[in-house]
């Protein structure tokens, strides 16, 4: 079955960096794009970034552009989110999700919590 | 940027009743680009409807989606206890690709 497992969350000070990982299994990883979507405590969903199936294209929300970088290692079936210059407003549960038809997210991981606090 | 506005913010109904949730876009969007998700407390969202009206794999047929242009609706024909959750609509915008969600509708037991 399709599985996405996030890891790498934790508590980090403002201005520092953190890298999240999303390990995929149960499907042909190289056929699918992968997104990161976040949810601040008690708030709604916010799309963060996407990487194409072959890594050829990446896109970001304005709120994270120039600070976050999405990448993938198809030999490890893993997608990464490098988060630099973290701010308090980046505090959220970060989900990775498989792209469906380019327009949707059909499978989601269980999420990993990132807390930015001094 | 297209903004999605969901209404009502909270909907209080009883099991067995019909639920109608609304999602309005600030400008016309393609029906292909509109999806609905369900999220229960402590869980990841789950895709319910894509392309405005197509049910995702394994979704019961009591869930249906409709609409076009700027107005979209998620209908749950007969509420089951497990349907009480928060529902989000989501749209895709191209050039460059971007994805936005509505603020959510909480469906609670009356």
CB-CB under 8 Å, A95 with B44: yes
Per-residue pLDDT tens digits for A4-52: 999 999 999 999 999 999 999 999 999 999 999 999 999 999 999 999 9
The alpha carbon of residue B100 is apart from the nearest alpha carbon of chain A, in Å, by: 7
Residue pair A61/A49 in contact (Cβ under 8 Å)? The answer is yes
What would the pLDDT profile of B64-89 be if each residue is shown by its tens digit?
Answer: 999 999 999 999 999 999 999 999 99
- Of A26, A34, A111, A101, nearest to A73 by C-alpha is A34
Whether the bond into B8 is cis, omega within 30 of 0: yes
pLDDT band (50, 70, 90) for residue A112:
very high
Min Cα distance B91 → chain A (Å) is 7
State residue B60's pLDDT score: 97
Q: What share of chain B has pLDDT > 90, as a percent?
A: 94
The residue-averaged pLDDT of B51-66 equals 97
Instruction: Answer yes or no: are the C-beta atoms of A6 and A109 closer than 8 Å.
Output: yes
Whether A73 and chain B come into contact, CB under 8 Å, resolves to no
User: Inter-chain contact B50–A35, Cβ cutoff 8 Å?
Assistant: no
The answer to whether residues A77 and B63 touch, using CB atoms and an 8 Å cutoff, is no
Find chain A residues with C-beta within 8 A of B32's C-beta.
Answer: 103
Q: In this predicted structure, what is the pLDDT of residue A15?
A: 98
Mean pLDDT of chain B: 96
Confidence of residue A65 (pLDDT cuts 50, 70, 90): very high
pLDDT in the model for residue A101: 85
What pLDDT does B102 receive? 98
DSSP class of B42 = T
Q: Among all chains, which residue has been given the structure tokens 């969350």?
A: A9
Beta-bridge mates of residue A19: A82
Nearest CA in chain A to B47: A106
Cβ within 8 Å of residue A45, ≥6 positions away: A37, A38, A39, B37, B39, B45, B88, B90, B101, B104
Percent of chain A with pLDDT over 70: 100
Mutation for B interface: A34, A39, A45, most B CBs within 10 A: A45
Q: Best of A41, A56, A70, A104 to disrupt the B interface by mutation (most B CBs within 10 Å)?
A: A104
């Amino acid at each position: 079955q399709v599985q996405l497992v996030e890891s790498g969350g934790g508590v980090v000070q403002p201005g520092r960096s953190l890298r999240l990982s999303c390990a995929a299994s149960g499907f042909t990883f190289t056929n699918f794009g992968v997104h990161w979507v976040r949810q601040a405590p008690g708030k709604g969903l916010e799309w963060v970034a996407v990487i194409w199936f072959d890594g050829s294209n990446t896109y970001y929300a304005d709120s994270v552009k120039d600070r976050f970088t999405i990448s993938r290692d198809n030999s490890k079936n893993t997608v990464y989110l490098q988060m630099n210059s973290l701010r308090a407003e980046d505090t959220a549960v970060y989900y990775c999700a498989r792209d469906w038809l380019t327009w949707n997210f059909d499978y989601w991981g269980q999420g990993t919590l990132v807390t930015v606090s001094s | 940027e297209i903004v999605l506005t969901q209404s009502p913010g909270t909907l209080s109904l009883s099991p067995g009743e019909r639920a109608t949730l609304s999602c309005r876009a600030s400008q016309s969007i393609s029906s292909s680009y509109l999806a609905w998700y369900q999220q229960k407390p402590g869980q990841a969202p789950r895709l319910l409807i894509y392309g405005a009206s197509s049910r995702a794999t394994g979704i019961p047929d009591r869930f249906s989606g409709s609409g076009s242009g700027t107005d979209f609706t998620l209908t749950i024909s007969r509420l089951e206890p497990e349907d009480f959750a928060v529902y989000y609509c989501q749209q895709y915008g191209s050039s460059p690709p971007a994805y936005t969600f509505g603020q959510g509708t909480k469906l609670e037991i009356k």
